[in-house]
């Protein structure tokens, strides 16, 4: 294990380049965390093992896509807030440009028959993917009657097409009261508390001012894109549990509350996020491009990542108090349990958006089985599109 004293201070370009390489193959979302650890701890010696583990615990306790947040944390610990930005850009840019290119092709050629058939297969893959993620969360977090009640309640709430945000907030409040079995926070070593010595306030405040100024400019020049930016920021701030929780939030806001697109089109956007590297929340790039072109794609992407990035930077100085809080751990447990119900409701909603026949049912079951057996998401999604061209 590398000691804290021997950690190397990299250049900003070295951080950007290292995470750019990882970003080119960042399939599987949280599955990339071990690769980030190997690079940052074992190979580059930018962080020690204890500090890295503390970062992973922190990123799992705050909103945002886990792998993106871990990348930002490594950059933050290595070179401060600017280092976090370098890591964020390096890790996220490959996915952004690939989703942007696919969005352009989708909008331009969506009426071509083979494109329609391929995306019909992708929709089936997305149902299997969301169902698989829901089952994973169910097996991991639902353990007792309180868990079941919160999960079922949140699922029914979204099933009635109500905003999931009140469900998440209400569950967190109830969790602080009901999860009495959680009697202590996560313990941290003295070495891990070194995280609290990172100075971030000046760049965090500056970043907030820039984002607010951007919102103000959009408000006066383009009200619709302003609404998009504000919506993406709201979604990001409630994405506890990783990128997957953004799916029910986006579904409700974009499809049901605002009617900006159909559920089928939204599923196509998720599919693009799965055949490219990067987190599923990169679907925001597609949403922005589909609605408002290149400017919309850039704005949606910035504002769907910026809030969680700033929350990460702002909470690092208080990591010991945050993770050590009993009430916070109870609320976090409740938010993760509600994700099970929300994902179940999304699975049903997506399933109802597909015209099923026996071939599509078999294709969906095969995809779900492959995912349960550990086949990589990328290959399942690509195989689904290919088989759809042949069978459907």
Percent of the chain's residues with pLDDT above 70: 91
Give the pLDDT mean for 11-33: 83
Asked if the structure places residue 33 within a domain, the reply is no
Asked if the structure places residue 236 within a domain, the reply is yes
How many independent structural domains does the chain possess? Answer: 1
C-alpha closest to that of 375 among 92, 99, 125: 125
- The string of pLDDT tens digits covering residues 33-76 is 888 888 999 889 999 887 887 787 788 778 888 889 999 999 99
Residue pair 373/130 in contact (Cβ under 8 Å)? The answer is no
Asked if the structure places residue 41 within a domain, the reply is no
Q: 321 Cβ partners below 8 Å, 6+ apart?
A: none
Length of the chain: 392
Asked if the structure places residue 169 within a domain, the reply is yes
Residue pair 381/109 in contact (Cβ under 8 Å)? The answer is no
pTM summary value: 0.80
**What's the rounded Cα separation, in Å, for the pair 392 and 390?**
6
Q: 190 Cβ partners below 8 Å, 6+ apart?
A: none
**Mean predicted lDDT score pLDDT of the chain:** 86
Cβ–Cβ contacts within 10 Å for residue 358, how many?
7
**What's the rounded Cα separation, in Å, for the pair 132 and 343?**
10
**What's the rounded Cα separation, in Å, for the pair 209 and 213?**
6
Asked if the structure places residue 59 within a domain, the reply is no
- The string of pLDDT tens digits covering residues 238-267 is 887 677 778 888 999 999 899 999 998 999
- The string of pLDDT tens digits covering residues 353-380 is 888 889 999 999 999 999 999 887 778 8
Asked if the structure places residue 379 within a domain, the reply is yes
The distance of Cα 25 from the centroid of its chain, to the nearest Å, equals: 16
Looking at residue 196, what DSSP letter applies? G
Asked if the structure places residue 372 within a domain, the reply is yes
Asked if the structure places residue 29 within a domain, the reply is no
- The string of pLDDT tens digits covering residues 279-297 is 888 999 999 999 999 999 9
- The string of pLDDT tens digits covering residues 189-237 is 454 455 445 567 788 889 899 999 999 999 999 999 999 999 999 999 9
114: exposed, middle or buried (Cβ count in 10 Å: 0-12, 13-18, 19+) = exposed
- The string of pLDDT tens digits covering residues 110-134 is 766 677 677 788 888 888 988 988 8
Structural domain harbouring 181: 99-391
Residue pair 105/34 in contact (Cβ under 8 Å)? The answer is no
**What's the rounded Cα separation, in Å, for the pair 91 and 68?**
7
Determine the pLDDT at residue 151: 93
DSSP 134-171: HHHHHHHH--SHHHHHHHHHHHHHHHTT--HHHHHHHH
Give the pLDDT mean for 319-323: 75
């Amino acid at each position: 294990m590398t000691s804290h004293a021997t950690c190397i201070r990299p250049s900003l370009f070295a951080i950007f380049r290292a995470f750019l390489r990882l970003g080119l193959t960042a399939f599987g979302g949280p599955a990339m965390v071990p690769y980030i650890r190997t690079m940052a701890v074992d190979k580059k010696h930018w962080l020690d093992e204890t500090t890295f583990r503390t970062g992973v615990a922190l990123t799992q306790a705050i909103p945002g896509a886990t792998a993106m947040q871990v990348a930002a944390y490594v950059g933050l610990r290595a070179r401060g807030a600017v280092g976090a930005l370098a890591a964020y850009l390096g890790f996220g840019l490959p996915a952004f440009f690939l989703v942007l290119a696919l969005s352009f092709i989708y909008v331009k050629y969506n009426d071509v028959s083979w494109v329609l058939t391929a995306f019909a297969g992708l929709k089936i893959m997305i149902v299997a993917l969301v169902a698989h993620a829901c089952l994973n969360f169910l097996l991991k977090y639902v353990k007792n009657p309180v868990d079941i009640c919160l999960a079922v309640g949140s699922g029914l709430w979204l099933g009635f097409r109500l905003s999931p945000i009140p469900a998440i907030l209400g569950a967190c409040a109830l969790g602080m009261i009901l999860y009495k079995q959680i009697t202590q926070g996560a313990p941290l070593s003295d070495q891990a508390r070194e995280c609290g010595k990172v100075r971030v306030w000046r760049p965090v405040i500056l970043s907030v001012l820039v984002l607010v100024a951007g919102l103000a400019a959009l408000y006066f020049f383009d009200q619709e894109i302003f609404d998009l930016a504000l919506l993406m920021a709201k979604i990001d701030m409630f994405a506890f549990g990783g990128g997957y929780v953004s799916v029910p939030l986006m579904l409700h806001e974009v499809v049901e509350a605002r009617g900006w697109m159909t559920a089928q089109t939204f599923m196509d956007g998720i599919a693009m996020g799965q055949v490219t590297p990067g987190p599923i929340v990169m679907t925001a790039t597609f949403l922005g491009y589909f609605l408002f072109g290149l400017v919309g794609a850039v704005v949606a992407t910035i504002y769907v990542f910026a809030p969680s990035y700033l929350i990460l930077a702002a909470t690092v100085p208080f990591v010991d108090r945050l993770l050590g809080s009993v009430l916070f751990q109870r609320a976090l447990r409740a938010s993760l349990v509600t994700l099970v119900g929300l994902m179940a409701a999304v699975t049903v909603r997506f399933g109802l958006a597909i015209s099923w026949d026996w071939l599509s049912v078999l294709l969906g079951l095969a995809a779900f089985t492959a995912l349960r057996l550990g086949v990589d998401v990328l290959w399942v999604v690509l195989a689904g599109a290919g088989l759809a061209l042949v069978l459907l």
